[in-house]
Chain A
Amino acid sequence: MAPPSRFGDKAFEWLTLAMAMAVVLLVILIGWQLWRGSSLAVQKFGFHFLTTSTWDPVTEQFGALPFIYGTLVSSFIALLIAVPLSVATAVYLTELAPLWIRQPIVSLIEMLAAIPSVILGLWGIFVMIPWLRDYPFPLLKRFFGWTPFFSGPIYGTSMLAGGIIIAIMILPIITSVSREILRSVPNLQREAAYALGATRWEVTRIAVLSYARKGLFGAVILGLGRALGETMAVTMVIGNTPQIAASLFKPGYTLASVIANEFTEATTDIYLQALFEIGLVLFGVTILVNLIAQLLLKTLTTTSTTRAVQ
C-alpha cells in the first residue's frame, strides 16, 4: 500500500483557508465600498452626522442619530422579549417536553422562520397593530403610564410594535440554536446533578443552563445580528419618524428602514451619499455591538469560572 498522500490534506487546508479568507475579504470589500460611496457625505457632515437629528432631503441636512437610536432600541426590545421566550422554549423542548410533542413544535418554529419579512409586515399592519392598540397597549399605559416609556397617545404604529415584530422574527433562530446547544450538554451533567439529589429545576439551572451559558450567549448574538439588520417588516410597523422619544408608543425609525425607504428615489449626490453613510453606520454599529457582546461574554465566563473555583 502506498503511503497516504499528503497532497490531499494540504489541498483541503488551502481550500478551506481560501473560503475563510473569501468571507473576510467580502466584509472588507463591503466596508470599503460603503466608505467610498459615502466619502462626500463623510467630508461634508463629519462627526455631526452621528450626533445631529435632522434628516431633511430638501435642504440636504443629514443626521443619523434618531436612526441609530431607533435601531438600538428596537433591537433591545426585541431581545428583551425574544430571549426569555426562546430559551424557555428550548429548555422545554430538550428537558421537559414529552417526545411526541417535540417534533411538531420544532417544525412550527422553523416554519415561523420561513415567513417572508414583507408578509410578516403586512400581518403586522392589519392584525398585530390593531390588536396591540386595542388591548395590550392601553393596559401597559394604565399600569406603567407614570413612567416616560409608556406615556402619550397610542397609535399602534410605534417603536414598541417594531421591537415586537423583530422579536417574532428572531425567535426561531435563537430557539433553534439554543435547542441544539442544550442538546449538546452531556447527559452525564444531568445525571450527576440528579445523583446529588437536585430537583428538576435545579438540574436545568445548574447542570444544563449554566453549562451551556456560553453557547446560549452565542445564540443571542446571532439573533441580535439579525435584529439590527431587519428591514422590511420593521419599516411597516415602526412609523418611520426620525425622532428620539422616551415613550415606546411613539413612532421611531431604524438605519435599515431609512435606506430601504429612500434609496430608490434619492436623486442628488449628497442625498445618496448620506444614505450610503447610513449603511456605513449600520455596518459599524453591528460590528461594535458584536464586539461589546464578545467582551461581555468573556468577562461573564471568566468571573463565573473563578467563582466556581472558589
Chain B
Amino acid sequence: MKPLKFRRKTLALVLLAGMSATASAQMMINGAGATFPYPIYSKWFDEYAKVDPSVRFNYQSIGSGGGQKQILAQTVDFGASDGPMSDENLAKAPGKLLHIPTVAGADVVAYNLPGNPALKFDADTIAGIFLGQIKKWNDPKITTLNPGVSLPDQEIVVVHRSDGSGTTYIWTDYLSKISPEWKSKVGTNTSVNWPTGIGGKGNEGVAGQIKQTPGALGYVELIYAVQNKMPYAEVKNAAGEFVKPNIQSVTAALATADIPEDFRFSITNAPGKDAYPICGATWLLVYEQQKDATKGKKLVEFLKWAVKDGEKMARDLQYAPLPENLQERVLKRIHEIKI
C-alpha cells in the first residue's frame, strides 16, 4: 500500500503546484511565429519572469507565415517573423503594424570536400553554383579564388532547404541582390523554385545531407555550422573583402546597412568593410495602437527591456545583437506604441 499512498501524495503535490502556477499567472501575453529566434526569445521570457513576475509569455514557434497570419487575425498579442511583411500583407492589417528588429543571424556556405580545405567564394561563384552553371569543383571560377587549394574534378552536389524558412529567405535575398539572373529567374522567398540541387528538411537535414555527400555544398545557419563543427567558407563582400561569418561580421552588416524608417530592411550585401554579406534580422510584429491598455503597457515594458538588457544575452546563444545606433532607433519606435 505504501507506494500507492506515496503516489497519491505526489499527485496532490503536482496538482497543487499546477494550480499555484496558474493562480500566479495574472497576465498571459501570447505570441507566435518565427522558429529561428525561438531559443533567444524563450531565454528572454524566462529572464523577464524574474524582472516582472506578474507577466507570463506564451510563444508558439509555428513559423513566420503563421506568425504573420496570427497577428493579422489579432489572435496573438505579438507576432514574429524572419522576413519583413509584404506591402500586400500589411494592407490587410486592421491597424498600423510595427516591425521591431531583435537579433540577426547569418547563412554560411558549408561544404564537404576531401580534407575540408578552407575555401573562399564570391558573389558570382555562389550564384553560378546555385543557378546550376558552375557544375564542377575544379571550375576555373572556384580555383582562381582559391589558389593553392587542389580542387577535385568532381560534381558539386547543391543542397538547399526544402522547408520554407527564414534561412532560405536570407539566402535568396542575397542571390537576388548580387545576380540579376537569379532575380529574374528565381527571386526571393522563404521557399523558391530551385534551378538545381536536392532539398533537405531543416538545418539538420541540409547539414546531414552535406556531411553525408562527398562534393556537397549548401547553406545553413551560422549557429548550426558552429555547433556541428562544419567547415564553412569566407565570402567576398560588397567592399571586396573576404569575410568570415561570425557575430562581429553580422553586427557589422547591421551597422552599415541602409535601414529605412519602417525597419523593413534587408542587410544582405551590406556595404561595410567588415560586414559579412549573407545575413538577416528577425522581427517582432506589434500593433502601434494596443487594444488592451494593461496588456499593452506590459508588452511595451518587455520590449524596452529586451532591447536594453535582452540584447546582451544574444552573443551567448550565437545571435548577433543590434548595434547601438539601431538599438536607439528601435527604442524610439517602441516609445511610439500607443496604449
Contacts and interface: CB of A to CB of B under 8 A. Distances in A.
Interface stretch (B157-165, B258-266, B279-287): B157-165
Interface in B181-231: 186-194, 197-201, 204-205, 208-209, 212-213
A130 to B, nearest CB: 5
Contact of B164 (A156, A253, A265): A265
A238 to B, nearest CB: 9
B198 A261 contact: no
Contact of B162 (A125, A261, A267, A272): A261
A240 B162 contact: yes
Interface residues of A, number: 35
Contacts of B165: 265
A155 B164 contact: no
A255 to B, nearest CB: 14
Contacts of B157: 155
Interface in A221-240: 235-236, 239-240
A contacts with B: majority SS: loop
B163 A156 contact: no
A274 B27 CA distance: 38
B62 interface: yes
Contact of B192 (A58, A126, A133, A268): A58
A58 B205 contact: no
A156 B214 CA distance: 11
B187 A157 contact: no
A50 interface: no
Contacts of B62: 264
A155 B112 CA distance: 13
A56 B198 contact: no
A306 interface: no
Contacts of B65: 263-267, 272
B21 to A, nearest CB: 29
Contacts of B89: 267-268
B65 to A, nearest CB: 4
A136 B79 CA distance: 48
A251 B163 CA distance: 15
A244 to B, nearest CB: 15
B292 interface: no
B64 A58 contact: no
Of A57, A133, A241, A265, most buried by chain B (CB within 10 Å of CB) is A265
11 contacts: A55-B193, A133-B212, A156-B213, A157-B209, A235-B162, A240-B200, A253-B199, A261-B163, A264-B63, A265-B65, A267-B190
Interface of B: 35, 62-66, 68-69, 83, 85-86, 88-89, 155, 157, 162-166, 186-194, 197-201, 204-205, 208-209, 212-213
Given A133-B213, A261-B162, 16 more contacts: A57-B192, A58-B187, A58-B192, A121-B201, A235-B162, A260-B163, A261-B164, A261-B201, A262-B163, A262-B191, A264-B35, A264-B64, A264-B65, A265-B165, A267-B85, A268-B86
Interface of A: 54-59, 121-122, 125-126, 129-130, 133, 153, 155-157, 235-236, 239-241, 251, 253, 257, 260-268, 272
